[in-house]
Amino acid sequence: MSGDKLSTELKWSIDETSVPDVPSPVQRWDVPDGANVTVRSGVVAIADFQTADPNTGPSGTSADPSRSTRLALGYKEPNDPLGAWTVFTQEQRIAPFNDLSLKDQQSSENAQNRVITFDPEEVGSGSLTLEDADEIALLVIGPDEIDGADSQFAIPMEFNNG
Amino acid sequence: MASSEQARQVVLTEDQFTTRPYSAGEEGIVATVQVPSNQVWMTAPGQPIELALVSKQTTTVDENTADQTVTLDPEAPMVDYLDDPTAGEYTGNAYIVGYFDSTGDGTPDTQITGSSTVQFNGTFSEDGDFVTSFEVDDTSGDAGTKDCEFYVVQRYGISTIQKRSAGAGNVSQSLKSEDSVRYAFASPNDPSADRQVTWDATMGGMRGILPPKYSLDIVFYDNTEGVALDSDRADNLTIALPVKQRGLKDDEDPGDLRRKVANSMTEL
């Protein structure tokens, strides 16, 4: 069905808190029973991240994660070892998301920095379908604990029930 | 009355909807409207949608005290198509609307403006495109704290617009589903912004048709946050859904039409 979003607001999304300096999820999506989800390369993401604790940076105390934070999407199949995420998108800097407000990101002009691009070594076809019991995660690495419950992320997806 | 041959486009607004209570953690219908028995509706592909669901936040203020900070949790998105309280627009159509209990009867039903007994003093704290807190003054001399209610556009959760068949064993189909914050930051009126949320162009066929007696629902879901559309004072609830309406044609049987549409919904 068209118009669905893989977003942090979904009923089957799970909030996580990332571990500093370790590639770790801030959000997991456990594909519901009987459903499958297709995500495509080249879609524009909308995202905003907040740290678990206010950090102290050059600009003072704020809840914005460090600009050195990088993010990517990963997937895990049921028999994969715990925590073994296969990263399938190219790493992105957090800056293009956190520099712009959620409102400004909704304008799709000049969105090149916010395009999610698949890693051709992992997914050749530009589209990835995940079956039920597979999981997708939004992974980050950076010096801060990022709070999934307070963060926002959405990309278009196709959701098929059965 | 819609003529039987020509469809005309109307915008369904919040006062045509029946609102229902909601509690966090469930996926629930929060507003619904039914197609009259002699009409057929169709979503208008490509036309912009406005949807701002509001939550209720409560607090108390002390008598005769200025500069009392009210912290919003969750924070309020600054919605372009509603009045802006940070610019002094303390109306019932703002993205934050406040009421206080002026009579001590336990019901906060007097609107907070710039000159009411409990009043906005004009100080608002913002974080990006969100208001995080603001200040009110209580100018009364009487004793006792006052209960206040604030209706704030909900930034969390998913809001889905669906059609639903009538009667027992009913089926429903999603017509539009977006994060609430995307509807809040849609910009249907700004000619230079492309932040519109619209009916999908794919909605031209059977999917966009609502036969007689079908319902058009707004469904909300969030795990922890709620909405309070069923309150008498949720004035800033905004729903604007463009639909085409026409009368039932002489040779159309409403039962056939309903069956045809219901079949197309279950095939998916």
ipTM of the complex: 0.74
Q: Which of A2, A7, A108 sits opposite B179 (nearest CB)?
A: A7
List, for residues B29-42, the tens digit of each pLDDT value.
999 999 999 999 99
Q: Which residues 108-137 on chain B approach chain A with CB closer than 8 angstroms?
A: 128-129
- For A2, B58, B101, B103, the CA distances from B106, given in Å and listed in that order, are 47, 12, 6, 8
pLDDT > 60? residue B62: yes
pLDDT > 90? residue A47: yes
Place of tokens 């994060």: B179
Q: Which of A2, A106, A108 sits opposite B200 (nearest CB)?
A: A2
* B110-114: long-range pairs with CB below 8 Å, 24+: B112/B136, B112/B148, B114/B88, B114/B90
A3-12, A87-96, B43-52, B148-157: which is most confident:
B148-157
* Centroid of chain to Cα A36: 18
> Which whole number is the average pLDDT over A25-30?
95
A109 inside 8 A of chain B by CB: yes
pLDDT > 60? residue B2: no
> Which whole number is the average pLDDT over B197-220?
90
Three-state secondary-structure class, residue B104: coil
- C-alpha–C-alpha distance, residues B48 and A49, integer Å: 28
Q: Which residues 22-81 on chain A approach chain B with CB closer than 8 angstroms?
A: 46, 48
Say how many CB pairs under 8 Å bridge A and B.
59
Q: Of B27, B53, B131, B185, which to mutate for an interface test with A (greatest number of A Cβ within 10 Å)?
A: B185
Task: Name the pLDDT band for A125 (thresholds 50, 70, 90).
Answer: confident
B75 inside 8 A of chain A by CB: no
Locate A81 and state its tokens.
Answer: 């070892």
* CB-CB under 8 Å, B268 with A161: yes
Whether this prediction's pTM lies above 0.90 is answered by no
Going by C-beta distance under 8 Å and a sequence separation of 6 or more, which residues neighbour residue B40?
A: B209, B210, B211, B212, B245, B246, B247, B248, B252, B257
Residue A61 CB neighbour total at 10 angstroms: 9
- C-alpha–C-alpha distance, residues B65 and B71, integer Å: 17
- C-alpha–C-alpha distance, residues B254 and A147, integer Å: 51
pLDDT > 60? residue B259: yes
